[in-house]
Amino acid sequence: MTRTQKPPQKGRAPSRHAKPGQPTKVTLEFIQLAVKAAKSLCHDAGLCQYLRVHPSTWCDWKNKAAQSEEPYAQLFREVEQAQAVEELELVKAIKNDSDWRAKLALLERRWPKRYALKQIVGQSGVNGTPATTDSPPPLRIVFQGINPADNPYEP
């Protein structure tokens, strides 16, 4: 064998999977487990801990689902559907329950953009009259020289 010749390649066993790497963890049983966890209204971090999936893997799966790659698209469709059903049931429970405060607090914390109270902050003038911004308050320039008589800002 000369220097330019490559040694003969040993035969490789055919791959069992269409793509190299470990087979996906997302199976029908995994999706059912994720839906069960999603009904608890926890965030992605809580779902990852419960499902024993690293958050970066969860983000990768979300990106694959956004590209309509199965089974990831099915996973996130079903998780979002379960969360939507739980949200509606919580809103119904608030309407029908005399002790609704805890349920509302849960909604406010889970979906702050949709359910949190909005505070209107404003300014008021003297005795509650509306504040005007027509003219700014006068500025007073302080002279810090040695001789106060040399202050060019005081009349």
Backbone angles phi, psi at 73, to 5 degrees: -65, -40
Helix (H, G, I), strand (E, B) or coil at 91: helix
User: In the prediction, which pLDDT does 119 show?
Assistant: 61
User: In the prediction, which pLDDT does 91 show?
Assistant: 81
The mean pLDDT value for 62-81 works out to 87
The mean pLDDT value for 110-130 works out to 69
78-90 pLDDT, tens digit per residue, is: 888 888 888 888 8
Q: What is the pTM of this model?
A: 0.55
Tell me the longest C-alpha to C-alpha distance in the chain. Answer: 104
Of 112, 94, 110, 113, nearest to 102 by C-alpha is: 94
122-155 pLDDT, tens digit per residue, is: 666 667 676 666 666 666 666 566 666 766 666 5
Residue 23: Cβ within 10 Å count? 10
User: In the prediction, which pLDDT does 116 show?
Assistant: 72
For the chain, what is the mean pLDDT?
Answer: 75
12-62 pLDDT, tens digit per residue, is: 555 455 566 677 778 888 888 888 888 876 778 888 888 888 888 888 888
Helix (H, G, I), strand (E, B) or coil at 130: strand
